Structure 1
């Protein structure tokens, strides 16, 4: 009995099917997966919660030390402002009058009471006042460090915040100095104020309390002297002896980091250390936290989570085993039905099991896929027929290439090149060219065009199957924009006859060699013929002719002048400018060749003639041309350029009897567009053509 017959017999047999080895292996794998995933999830959750707790502690500590550093910096700044107030109250005459200076410092300025001691010295260094706790003392009792701070301020003429003065805890203090001067004049003297280290103006004892066993807030100087500590015995000690903080401080010194800046936090195995500094004076604030003590509550919670996870995993594994056995029955029948479908059985003879839940969904999916596949095959056949009809009936050759291979070739392209309908399918594109050099040269040209314009538009010489040359105008665009590697669609128009005409001697006399458009002389000749034909059919009155031009459509002429074209020439060079002119000429020709013709009048000026076109349609086409030039952004030498075009539109009515007057009217309309802001379309009627070209020149260059 074959496996399919055995499966069919099992499906027809009543009762449950015995689970096979595959189901048992899947059950074992699922149980192991539950155990591993549960354990891994619990471990990841534990680690994630620990990292989140550390992250929050780090953010909290970093913010705390930053705030404390800013607070201390503001205290220093406030002390300097108070001292500046005292300095502003001291006049130059007081420096020569000790009695008035004594009175001012003892009674006249309340701001003096902010400091524990104050000194005033003249420019020559003579100490005029030495005030300690409101009492005058002899100048000889002044501490050398305080005297040095006064001298430095007299010398530099700048305010100063000294390092820590005094070796004992009770006498430690910080000295602030402020130069005395008259506006921006020379320094006349100096005033100094000292604050005790643990005064309310600097580091009050309440700042580091209450003390916690698991965390310490410490303030210390750049050289490692402790200024504030929860343990009073550690004040004026070395920060290098602090557990956790000592190594971080040593590393900070080794890296020579600046004192001021944002807070930084270092996570160690046993401590979390956060530091922030302030520039004046060069002090640092640190918070040292015992990480094990902080994370102890989290570890207890994690143990509970582990026990809960183990219980959940055990229950889940038991339920999974039971449900796997139960689910094996419809799943086995589904697998057998799917096997029958895969072996090519008739879809109408397959009996899908009726079930709910996931198996029921899979049954619906299988049935839906069967219907969808049949529908897709029908749609694909229709699309292939439609696509083939387009390829067979298109008036131009259509070719699709990818990675150098001809994926799709239309009937017109095959006929143009002399091949049968299937001869080019899947062949290398190289066979369409006379030599490897021609193929490589065209590839480089296509690549450059796609880089500059995002598309290709040009004449290409192919090789006919019989070896003769075939010239075609080729337009190529990526199936996906600007992605030539993802496939390219090519439109081919046979230009062999036109190319042969170009070889004639008289063709070069009437066409511009750069853009292949009619030149100015040919334009004048063709327009003269057109105007003569229009004149012979003119109406009896000029008014009737004007009405016909507005309604019935005698034709229009567009005068186009590129905006900002000189920028391309100046920045990217004349070769890029020539490429722009060629591309604009191609754009004009492709847009109007069904209803008119284009010419290059010279420089960056073009003309478009639309015989039989109404004025409204001419305006719409002019706007279309303007928008096409504006949206095109060529790229040369790695730089993109934005161009515009100013267009003047003139109706070909009976009032315009000669080409010069027509050109003048169109030129003046273009000038109106330039004067109105460029990159726009302006219309002039024959009755408005009274403004002459001399009038334009009188207004200056455009």
Structure 2
């Protein structure tokens, strides 16, 4: 039955309904206390039908007073600079057990950064444990959490010179004018942009494909069982997705486009370096055409002849 308060304030009623049903751990906080929390947020912190975090002090979910004060200070610094806080925090549940959560905190009104804020928390304990393993750090890029150059080269080497008959293609991606994003927003915001861009790229390819960050703003996608024709279709989809991608990071906004090179593995490209070099050559042609475009590497001889080596 709808309460008189809900009848008088339908927006508040909708918000309460959303917080109950949404599979998201979200809370609104103000003056150091949780004001409204979602059902999922309550469950994440060990609360249920009989108990509720609403009205309690934020300190209740942080492992110590010192950790709480430090978190509050970092949040104030981020909000004051027009940035959300996005970091992993060790939290404590109602029963005293601990977990690592990714906290994304944003002011409700950016013109009042010290006022009410919204918290979104995701349990990342398992992912964090995995990242702490030496084997993970050896294979992954720290900024994007994608495969790194070393891992990409290892996986690509499994296909170069292979006698298997399945076609294999590679996309070489170079973000156009990314230095302008770094210059205009700073390195920290640029890294968040790269992370978001990398996660978006993963959604545009198959689970069997490998997306890697080589360095800076250069990405590579390994496409097993994919010939040049279909690789070009994937490249166009990726190019369009990058052009449509928007970074919204606090008060910061950015958009970019990208140049892509497509290369299918072939006998003349008999080393990992040759394959990546061919993809980069095609990408360079895309940049020379004005960017935001795709070019395909076509071999008329050895890679060394084409590259002028």
Is structure 2 residue 201 aligned with structure 1 residue 592?
Answer: yes
CA 1:469/1:663 → structure 2, altered by over 3 Å: closer, same or farther?
farther
More helix by share: 1
RMSD, aligned CA: 4.5
Deviation track 1:23-79 (CA, whole Å, cap 9, x = no partner) reads xxxxxxxxxxxxxxxxxxxxxxxxxxxxxxxxxxxxxxxxxxxxxxxxxxxxxxxxx
State which of 19, 23, 28 in structure 2 corresponds to 1:400. 28
Contact 2:104–2:119 (CA<8 Å) still a contact in 1?
A: yes
Which position in structure 2 is the counterpart of 1:434?
63
Is structure 2 residue 301 aligned with structure 1 residue 672?
Answer: no
Distance in 1 of aligned mates of 2:13 and 2:27:
21
Which position in structure 2 is the counterpart of 1:663?
276
CA 1:456/1:695 → structure 2, altered by over 3 Å: closer, same or farther?
farther
Question: Which shifted more, 431-440 or 607-616?
Answer: 607-616
Local SS of the residue matching 2:147: coil
State which of 43, 49, 52 in structure 2 corresponds to 1:415. 43
Matches within 5 A, 1:125-524: 376=7, 383=14, 386-391=17-22, 394=23, 396-420=24-48, 422-450=51-79, 454-480=83-109, 484-485=113-114, 487-524=116-153
Local SS of the residue matching 1:625: helix
CA 1:649/1:454 → structure 2, altered by over 3 Å: closer, same or farther?
farther
Give the alignment's TM-score, normalised by structure 2. Answer: 0.70
Distance in 2 of aligned mates of 1:504 and 1:560:
30
Local SS of the residue matching 2:284: helix
Local SS of the residue matching 2:219: strand
Contact 2:287–2:293 (CA<8 Å) still a contact in 1?
A: no
Is structure 2 residue 260 aligned with structure 1 residue 648?
Answer: yes
Larger radius of gyration: 1
Contact 2:27–2:120 (CA<8 Å) still a contact in 1?
A: yes
CA 1:430/1:385 → structure 2, altered by over 3 Å: closer, same or farther?
closer
Contact 2:274–2:303 (CA<8 Å) still a contact in 1?
A: no
Contact 1:561–1:645 (CA<8 Å) still a contact in 2?
A: yes
CA 1:659/1:634 → structure 2, altered by over 3 Å: closer, same or farther?
farther
State which of 599, 623, 627 in structure 1 corresponds to 2:240. 623
Pick 1 or 2: higher relative contact order, CA cutoff 8 A, min separation 6.
2
Contact 1:648–1:669 (CA<8 Å) still a contact in 2?
A: yes
Deviation track 1:282-318 (CA, whole Å, cap 9, x = no partner) reads xxxxxxxxxxxxxxxxxxxxxxxxxxxxxxxxxxxxx
Matches within 5 A, 1:27-42: none
Local SS of the residue matching 1:465: coil
Deviation at 1:686, TM superposition (A): 4.4
Distance in 2 of aligned mates of 1:472 and 1:689:
53
Distance in 2 of aligned mates of 1:414 and 1:537:
54
Which position in structure 2 is the counterpart of 1:193?
none
Deviation at 1:462, TM superposition (A): 1.9
Distance in 1 of aligned mates of 2:36 and 2:222:
37
Deviation at 1:614, TM superposition (A): 6.8
Deviation at 1:438, TM superposition (A): 2.0
Deviation at 1:566, TM superposition (A): 8.3
Distance in 2 of aligned mates of 1:461 and 1:427:
18
Deviation at 1:527, TM superposition (A): 4.1
CA 1:508/1:465 → structure 2, altered by over 3 Å: closer, same or farther?
same
Which position in structure 2 is the counterpart of 1:682?
293
Deviation at 1:657, TM superposition (A): 8.0
CA 1:506/1:663 → structure 2, altered by over 3 Å: closer, same or farther?
same
Contact 2:282–2:297 (CA<8 Å) still a contact in 1?
A: no
Local SS of the residue matching 2:134: coil
Deviation at 1:500, TM superposition (A): 0.8
Aligned residues: 294
Contact 2:285–2:295 (CA<8 Å) still a contact in 1?
A: no
Deviation at 1:600, TM superposition (A): 2.8
Deviation at 1:498, TM superposition (A): 1.2
Contact 2:261–2:286 (CA<8 Å) still a contact in 1?
A: no
CA 1:668/1:380 → structure 2, altered by over 3 Å: closer, same or farther?
same
Distance in 1 of aligned mates of 2:127 and 2:6:
48
Local SS of the residue matching 1:687: coil
Local SS of the residue matching 1:506: helix
Deviation track 1:585-620 (CA, whole Å, cap 9, x = no partner) reads 321244234455643312443345677887545434
Structure 2 unaligned residues grouped into runs of 5+: none
CA 1:674/1:437 → structure 2, altered by over 3 Å: closer, same or farther?
farther
